[in-house]
Amino acid sequence: MSKDSSIRAQLSELLGEEWNAPDSPLRREKPKRLTIYQALKACDRLSIIAAVDKGREVAVAVLADGTKVVLTDACPHDGGLLSDGFVEGNRIVCARHGWEFDGLTGECAHKPGLRVACEVLSKSEDATES
């Protein structure tokens, strides 16, 4: 093994220098994100989907009460993708370490005062029915 123990160097040693060439079948492309409009169409109640808004990575979620929200797709704890997490009631749960965020305000349940940028796109369908 070479002295350079970085992952990139180890992969190059194991697979050859071509492993990261743009046309290499071993290279994983970052999955393309949906627009907010596409994500809203694909997002069911109690689900969260990665999207992009003007170049910014966001997550679109539909909360338990039907409210549709968009939030920054980065957990303030350690940068996990909130879109990899799940919706529990009206909270967004980060899949990496389980931190929870209020889906309406972005407020972190574990660290008062800490929040993710969060915007309500449309209010709950349930609330408008009553």
Eight-state DSSP code of residue 116? -
Task: Determine the Cα–Cα distance for residues 95 and 75; give it in Å rounded to an integer.
Answer: 10
CB of 116 to ligand FES, least distance (A): 10
CB of 1 to ligand FES, least distance (A): 31
User: Which of 52-82 are b and which e, b meaning 16 or more Cβ less than 10 Å from the residue's Cβ?
Assistant: bbeeeebbbbbbeebbbbbbbbbbbeeebbb
Does 49 contact ligand FES by CB under 6 A?
no
Site stretch for ligand FES (CB under 6 A), options 3-11, 15-23, 73-81, 113-121: 73-81
Q: Which strand ranges, in their side-by-side order, compose the sheet holding 100-102? A: 86-88, 91-93, 100-102
CB of 16 to ligand FES, least distance (A): 34
Site stretch for ligand FES (CB under 6 A), options 2-10, 29-37, 65-73, 96-104: 96-104
Give the max Cα distance, the chain: 67
Residue closer to ligand FES by CB (options 71, 124) is 71
| Interacting residues toward ligand FES by CB under 6 A | 75, 77-80, 94, 96-99
